Amino acid sequence: NAGVTQTPKFQVLKTGQSMTLQCAQDMNHEYMSWYRQDPGMGLRLIHYSVGAGITDQGEVPNGYNVSRSTTEDFPLRLLSAAPSQTSVYFCASSYGRENEKLFFGSGTQLSVL
């Protein structure tokens, strides 16, 4: 059972480049989300989805796009990378019911130069 799979693990971009962080889960979870981790800031929610075709903004959505065409996949797109998006990104998923925990991917360390 693979759980939540994130790719890539590391990425270096130049300012203005675009890229997609991939996230896939094989647990048939309805809820998927993206967080960023910055020193001293805790985990901050970027976007989340409560099911295929449904997405919503989190706390820090600017500069990021998401879509949820299937239950399994929830990619995060950076359309024009900025140095402020240098961070560690985590994808997480859950069954989405009130007493269900989050399962996290292994993280993507992104540097924007």
- Residue 52's identity, in one-letter code, is A
What minimum distance in Å lies between the beta carbon of 86 and another protein? Answer: 19
What minimum distance in Å lies between the beta carbon of 62 and another protein? Answer: 14
Nearer to another protein by Cβ, of 17 and 95: the residue is 95
**Cβ atoms 102, 30 nearer than 8 A:** no
What minimum distance in Å lies between the beta carbon of 71 and another protein? Answer: 15
Residue 109's alpha-carbon distances to 9, 18, 26, 79, 85, in angstroms, are: 6, 15, 23, 17, 10
What minimum distance in Å lies between the beta carbon of 101 and another protein? Answer: 3
Nearer to another protein by Cβ, of 17 and 103: the residue is 103
Nearer to another protein by Cβ, of 63 and 95: the residue is 95
**Cβ atoms 63, 36 nearer than 8 A:** no
Query: What is the contact surface with another protein in residues (CB under 8 A)?
Result: 31, 33, 35, 40-45, 48, 50, 56, 58-59, 90, 94, 96-107
Q: Report DSSP letters for 31-57, one per residue.
A: EEEEEEEETTTEEEEEEEEEETTEEEE
